[in-house]
Structure 1
């Protein structure tokens, strides 16, 4: 594990690169994208553990903090999904220049908002494969996020479960079309989540099924919500991701 920061729009995005030891040179790689309010450690240390498991399988793994989260620079009021997409593309470009990484063998795994960001990035540039854990709904959830407008007008910011954001996030959602981006991605996809997760309901998932057809693998965990909820569920999600990425990266 070694520090690897990325400069983007005057901000430092802080991250770490896990390399297999010994590792093929160059090695295939996976980038991990955390969800809203998360960071490169992951809830329950899950991104750290997953990175180590990938490295043990000969796959390099890069995990980083999006701007304004974790230890990366940035103002939470500037946060938007489109800006995170731009950050991810900067990360991917830097990894492609890294001599330890095979530039044509890079995949992305994202959770929730990070999964939405991964889909949008894949619509703009080639990725080997996508692993999506419960992708956020984007503009389909706009009515919920619009409910924070009054709070922003009164206080200059919104507070969602202790996560700060402003108008930039809500305004940006209007222009997002994750399903158009999904149709431009030509590689295999894993879609994994829980049967009790509202982000895995049919109206949010069916357009992905239509876009990816037989390139889509689905993995459902009975009774699981948006978070793992238990170590057993976490391990099942890890197993699905590792099996998929070892075949497709």
Structure 2
């Protein structure tokens, strides 16, 4: 018996759903929960795939991805955001999460987005936030013909070094000793197995960017601890259309938890302008 491909499974699910304005809840292959946002009209529309950070969900902190999707739709751009497996409402558990599985989920979502009625598969961009920026970069590197533009917010630059810095050596040691470690990230708890920690050392974002020739843009707050990576990431990208924006008085999460200081609307506007320009 011939086993259907991931792309065929996603297509079978989504072709039954008509293109419609507003937001629709979808379930992609492998139980990935997603939200499709479509503009008014018939299309075909350009579209953006939104990839969330580690421990987050498809709506992202402060619902910034909800606001981003609304801004895109109001300006004639569709979007798809989803929960990586083990997070939010998607199937699976965090203990099985690795960078390879993250990248596989991103590809499933990209192929699903390409097959949605009303979306122009030739004009798809990708947005990634923090840890999810790494997934955006690797997806573009693996699918340079499909991904026409990439924007990354507060992008991670070195998976292993950054996780070691944020989690500490004791966490790495406990995972190596016990095979699994429980984490309290402050906003959620999760468990990660040794496979996750091993995968951190096998993915090079700078090497990946040399495989992506399309438009690439970084957006960081001036007080973002990952700002140190932005210039090197842009330099590594193979294309010539590369931009970097630094927002004054903003931190890694653009102060979304401090409404009086939030610059989320500025980040959303800059990103919208970029995708309108490049898709």
Q: TM-score, normalised by structure 1?
A: 0.91
Q: Find the counterpart in structure 2 of residue 75 from structure 1.
A: 93
**Structure 1 consecutive aligned stretches of length 4 or more whose deviation exceeds 4 Å:** none
Q: Find the counterpart in structure 2 of residue 95 from structure 1.
A: 113
Distance in structure 1 (CA, Å) of the matches to 2:130 and 2:55: 11
Q: Find the counterpart in structure 1 of residue 4 from structure 2.
A: none
Q: Find the counterpart in structure 2 of residue 2 from structure 1.
A: 24
Taking the TM superposition and a 5 Å limit, the aligned residue runs for 1:132-151 are: 132-137=152-157, 138-141=159-162, 143-144=164-165, 147=169, 148-151=171-174
Q: Find the counterpart in structure 1 of residue 19 from structure 2.
A: none
CA deviations on 1:138-159 (whole Å, 9 max, x unpaired) are: 1342543572133333583231
Distance in structure 1 (CA, Å) of the matches to 2:123 and 2:143: 13
Q: TM-score, normalised by structure 2?
A: 0.82
| Greater Cα radius of gyration, structure 1 or 2 | 2
Tell whether 2:62 aligns with 1:62.
no
Could you tell me which of 219, 241, 247 is aligned with 1:221?
247
Tell whether 2:243 aligns with 1:243.
no
Could you tell me which of 38, 41, 59 is aligned with 1:19?
38
Contact conserved, 1:40 with 1:64, CA < 8 A, in 2?
Answer: yes
Q: Find the counterpart in structure 1 of residue 233 from structure 2.
A: 208
C-alpha displacement at 1:187, in angstroms?
0.9
Could you tell me which of 180, 198, 203 is aligned with 1:171?
198
CA deviations on 1:199-218 (whole Å, 9 max, x unpaired) are: 111xx233323223641111
Q: Find the counterpart in structure 1 of residue 180 from structure 2.
A: 156
Contact conserved, 1:194 with 1:222, CA < 8 A, in 2?
Answer: yes
Q: CA separation of 1:154/1:184 partners in 2, compared to 1, >3 Å: closer, same or farther? A: closer
C-alpha displacement at 1:38, in angstroms?
0.6
Q: How much is the aligned-residue C-alpha RMSD, in angstroms?
A: 1.8
